[in-house]
Amino acid sequence: MRTRTLLALTAAVAALGLAAPASAADTPVLTTTDGAAVAVGDVLDASLASGTAATFYSSATGTSGISCKTSAFSAEVTANPAAPGTATESLASHTFDTSGCTTNVVGSLGVNSITVDNLPYTASVSSDGTVSVTPGASSAIQSTVKLRTLLGSITCVYQAPSLTGTASNADHSISFTNQQFTKVSGSSLCFGNAFFTAKYAPVTKGGVAINVN
């Protein structure tokens, strides 16, 4: 009887040992803070972190350019594999409310519009927190900025091959710092480079914050 009991206990311990790694492997890269897996087709949303601004400055260390208090994005999850790994999303919307934008670009009086072109983009989020945004085939990440001047509106078009950011579970954020865009067309009043910085938090699904595993 003791032999059977010992064998049964050994088998149970072995079964638990095998089950633990399998359970961990089943945790996807993206989950909600209540532990639910994010499903393919779910939509993730975020606005600027409270008290921050999205900026397009003419240099990585300067403060000349454009600052916006309101910006948001929306992305649909296209893959969410087991962690560690890389989840992917289709970034379908990225907006800036220019009623809250200011500019100190020489010769400009205000910001008429900022449009993110060539959407959707592909966004990826890896278990180590690396965020990448890339354009579609034969395309580029592009923003069109229209500034108001004494002589009327001018249009500045900027492009970047890709963007790199960082995801943090501390505040469920995605941050971009000094991501460089290059002017491809526009008036001489348009600065030659635009360095984009912004922090979006919290990233949510239906109002529930997202963790990266």
Mean pLDDT score, 180-194: 94
Q: Enter the DSSP assignment of 56.
A: E
pLDDT at 211 over 80: yes
Is residue 167 within 8 Å of 125, Cβ to Cβ?
A: yes
Choice among 20-29, 128-137, 176-185 with the minimum mean pLDDT: 20-29
Q: Residue 137 — pLDDT band, cuts 50, 70, 90?
A: confident
Mean pLDDT score, 29-34: 97
Cα distance between residue 119 and residue 139, in whole Å: 9
pLDDT of residue 7: 39
pLDDT of residue 25: 55
pLDDT of residue 179: 98
pLDDT one-digit tens code per residue, 38-97: 999 999 999 999 999 999 999 999 899 999 999 999 999 999 999 999 999 999 999 999
Cα distance between residue 203 and residue 171, in whole Å: 9
Q: Is the peptide bond before 135 cis (omega within 30 degrees of 0)?
A: no
Cα distance between residue 75 and residue 94, in whole Å: 9
pLDDT one-digit tens code per residue, 99-135: 999 999 888 999 999 999 999 999 999 999 999 999 9
Torsional sign, CA 178, 180, 183, 188? positive
pLDDT one-digit tens code per residue, 140-173: 999 999 999 988 999 999 999 999 999 999 999 9
